[in-house]
Structure 1
Amino acid sequence: MSERTAGDVMDDVPALADTTGMKEPPATARGMRMRATLVAAARTVFERDGFLTSRLTDITAEANCSTGTFYTYFASKEEAFTAVLEAAQDDMLHPGMPRLADSDDVVAVIEASNRAYLVAYKRNAKLMALMHQVAAIDPKFKELRVRRSQLFAERNARHIRDLQQRGLVDASLDPLLTARTLSGMVSRAAEDSFVNEDRDVEEVVAVVTTLWVNGLKLAA
């Protein structure tokens, strides 16, 4: 896999959730441990019970602390959910296909990129399902997810365009529409395979990589 250029840096991609207005993190090691315990408890409860039916008291029971302790760190259940996403961000962040150098094996890079996404998705499948649920009831959260998806698609489109210019990919394909379509296919395959079923990651990697390569009409 090639090194990323400055244009591939992910700093411009929005976070998984808007942390504006959240309470400041604790200044002490003990406070940080308690907050981390609450975040872990919140994730357990949200993934087990769903966001809508979970209660603040369920979170405090899981964390073995009082309601007062909860409010020391979070203003609401919604803020705790934001903290859960913030904690999972690095594990779930997947920038898509990287910029490819002339010496790269394009198929191998696409396969590795798909594998990284699918492994992270399966590891966080319950949280991914939870994010779909929250997006259905929270317009701001839905907008943030749409914006993230758009930026990832634009990044992949730039790399598809580069491959077209190098004569490796069907030049008649619209790069952005192709990127959206193929990325959407992988995302849906991940949901069906890991949320609705429990398929082997490598099985899914093989299928979606074949569809990526065939969809691009990638030259051998």
Structure 2
Amino acid sequence: MARSQQDRPPRRQEWATRTARDRTDAPARGRLLDAAEQVFARLGYGPATIADITAQAEVSRAGFYVYFASKEEVFRVLAGRVRDAFLTAQDVPGVDTDDVAAVARASTAAFIAAYARHLPLLVLLEQQARGDAEVRALWEEIRERPVRRAARYVRRVAAEGRAHPVVDPLTLSRAVGGMSIEFARLVAERPATYERAVADATAMYLHLLGIGAAPQQ
């Protein structure tokens, strides 16, 4: 069955004419990404359509194609955004990186918040990774890059004598990541538990690092 004119992506000439103007409209792209995450979380990957995303974002279908070629592409861009959110969670701006306890608390708090916020999309990513090699690569990055980055920090502070890990840094980072995910799932169900979850996860992190617990806030 032929697609209607409304369902067809814009012709290349039309797209090229709009590109210079519309790609400067970063808020529209951000709205589309936010809307796509909400739509995927609500409907699931298969049932979600570009029409659902554009309606949620209040952006035209032609506007969608300025930024994304397909539903598959917007999903992969979302996966990359989630990966970046977890890496950013380890940047802990404003925290003295020589203060290991402060870094542990700030990074744990940011990780739990990011995971709880993106939990529905993360569930979909794990499902889609089983049948899509590109999504699988992104999923592996989401799981592994934050762990390996944390392990590098643990190695550094251990070498400087400011921490005394009870296990090797990579194992420690995997353990901390795993328990932070479990706390994040609890927080997603019961947001009021966030502060307690952060305090408990941080206390266990510091214990594994072999340093004193951070003061309770």
TM over 0.5: yes
Highest relative contact order (Cα 8 Å, sep 6+), 1 or 2? 1
Matching residue of 1:193: 186
User: How does 1:1-220 map onto structure 2 within 5 Å?
Assistant: 26-29=19-22, 32=25, 34-63=28-57, 67=61, 70-85=64-79, 91=85, 93-94=87-88, 96=90, 104-170=98-164, 173-190=167-184, 192-218=185-211
Q: Hey, which of these two has a bigger chunk of helix by percent?
A: 2
Q: Report the Cα distance in structure 2 between the residues aligned to 1:145 and 1:30, rounded to whole angstroms.
A: 28
What is the count of residue pairs matched by the alignment?
195
SS of aligned partner of 1:208:
helix
Q: Distance in 1 between matches of 2:59 and 2:97?
A: 56
Structure 1: where are the runs of 5+ without partners?
A: 1-22
Q: CA deviation at 1:205?
A: 0.3
The alpha-carbon deviation at position 219 of structure 1 amounts to 5.1
- Let me know the Cα RMSD of the aligned residues: 3.6
Relative to structure 1, is the Cα distance of residues 41 and 26 closer, same or farther in structure 2, using a 3 angstrom cutoff? farther
- Give TM-score, length-normalised by structure 2: 0.68
Larger radius of gyration: 2
TM-score (normalised: structure 1): 0.67
Change (3 A) 1:74 1:158: closer
**SS of the residue aligned with 1:207?**
helix
Unaligned 5+ residue runs, structure 2?
A: 1-14
Q: Which moved more, 1:66-75 or 1:203-212?
A: 66-75
Question: Aligned in 2, Cα 1:156/1:39: closer, same or farther, shift over 3 Å?
Answer: closer
Identity %: 33
Task: Report if the CA contact (8 A) 2:33-2:78 is conserved.
Answer: yes
Deviations 1:108-165 (A, max 9, x none): 2211111122233334444344433433442322222323533332322222223333
What whole-Å deviation, never above 9, does each CA across 1:45-85 have from its counterpart, x for those lacking one? 11211112212332244345665554454321111223445
Compared with structure 1, are the counterparts of its residues 188 and 97 closer, same or farther at alpha carbon in structure 2 (3 Å cutoff)?
Answer: farther
Alpha-carbon distance in structure 2 between the residues aligned to 1:77 and 1:165: 46
> 1:12: which partner in 2?
none
Alpha-carbon distance in structure 2 between the residues aligned to 1:30 and 1:102: 38
